[in-house]
Amino acid sequence: MIIFEFIKAFILGVVQGITEWLPISSTGHMIIVDAFMPLKVYSDEIVNKQFVDMFFVVIQFGSILAVLLLYFNKLNPFSSKKSQSQKRDTIMLWVKVVIAALPAAVIGLLFDDYIDELLYNPLTVAITLILYGVIFILIERNKPQSKIKNLNDLSFKTAFLIGVFQTLALIPGTSRSGSTILGAILLGTSRTVASEFSFFLAIPVMFGASLLKLIKLKISLGFIGIAILLVGMITAFLVSVVAIKSLMKYIRKNDFTIFGYYRIILGLVVIIFSLLKVI
C-alpha cells in the first residue's frame, strides 16, 4: 500500500533531520533504515533506485530551510536592524561560506559518480564511522586552544581550510557536519563557531547537491513521487529546527566525545548487519 511509503518517507525525514546536523553521519543511518524498510514507490526496480538515490539527497533541502529560518537575521545582510558595519560583516560571512564551499563543489562535480560507484557501500561507511569516532574522542581529550570565538574573527584562509576538511565528507559515512566541525576545531575555533559555520556551509553545498541530483534524474516523478518527496523534505525541515536548537544548547556545556562513541557503536552495527547480509 502506498500509505506505507509515505510513512517510510516521514521516518526517513526524521532520521535526516536529526543526523544531518549531529556529527554522526546521516548516510550511515539512512543505509540502516533503508535496509529494514526500503522505499518502494515504483514497481520498476531501476526507476525506483533512481528515485531513492535522489530522495536521500533532495530531502536535505528541508534541512537547509531550517538553517535559514533559525539564522535568518544573522545571515541577512539587508536587515534594517543592522548597522552598516554589521551588514558588511554579514556579507563577509557569506563570502567565507562561498570560499569554504568551493573545494567540495569542485571535487563533487568531478568525482560524484565515481565516489557513489566505488565507495557507497556498508564497509566504507562502517570504517569511516569508526575512524572519525576515534578521532573525535582523541581530539576532545587533547583539544587545541580555541582562538576563534566569533564568526567575524574567522579568516578567509581558515574558512577555505574548513572547506578542505569538508571534502572528506564526500566519502560515505564521514558526516559533512562531522568533518567540518572536526576541521574547524583543529584550526582553533570554538565549538559554537565550528557548529554554526558548519550549518551555514551546508546551505550552498546541500542546495548544490540537491540541484545536481534533480538535473541528473532521468525519470518522471509523477504526483505520488513528488508527494513522497515533499513529506520527507517537510519532516526533515521540522525535525532539523529542533535538532539544531538542541545541539547548540548541548555544546554550551558539553563536548563532542559522546558522538565519537556513538559513531564507533554505529560502525560496529553496520559491520554486523553487513556480515549477516541484512544490508
Per-residue pLDDT tens digits for 85-101: 999 999 999 999 999 99
d(CA 86, CA 201): 20
Mapped onto helix, strand or coil, the DSSP state of residue 226 is helix
Give the residue among 21, 1, 3, 16 at the shortest CA–CA distance from 256: 21
Strand partners, 148: 189
> Residue type for 22, please?
L
Query: What is the C-alpha separation between 158 and 193, in angstroms, rounded?
Result: 12
Residue 257 scores a pLDDT above 90 = yes
Query: Is the C-alpha dihedral spanning 249, 252, 254, 256 positive or negative?
Result: positive
Read off the pLDDT of each residue in 68-94 and give the average, rounded to a whole number.
94
Q: What is the biggest distance separating any 2 CA atoms in the chain, rounded to whole angstroms?
A: 60
Q: Is 80 exceeded by the pLDDT of residue 279? A: no
CA–CA separation, 92 and 62 (whole Å): 25
How far are the Cα atoms of 123, 167, 173, 264 from residue 177, in angstroms, in the given order? 21, 11, 11, 17
Q: What is the pLDDT of residue 261?
A: 97
pTM score: 0.89
- 156/105: higher pLDDT: 156
CA torsion angle 172 96 206 239 (round to 10)? 100
Distance in angstroms (rounded) separating the CA atoms of residues 90 and 42? 45
CA neighbor of 58 nearest in space, from 186, 166, 167, 210: 210
Query: Quick check: 256 and 23 in contact, CB under 8 A?
Result: yes
What cell does 148 get? Answer: 576563534
Residue 42 main-chain phi, psi, to 5 deg: -120, 145
Confidence band, pLDDT 50/70/90 cuts, at residue 161: very high
In this model, does residue 247 exceed pLDDT 90? yes
Query: Residue 23 in contact with residue 177, Cβ under 8 Å?
Result: yes
Q: What is the dihedral of CA 160, 139, 32, 109, to 10 degrees?
A: 20
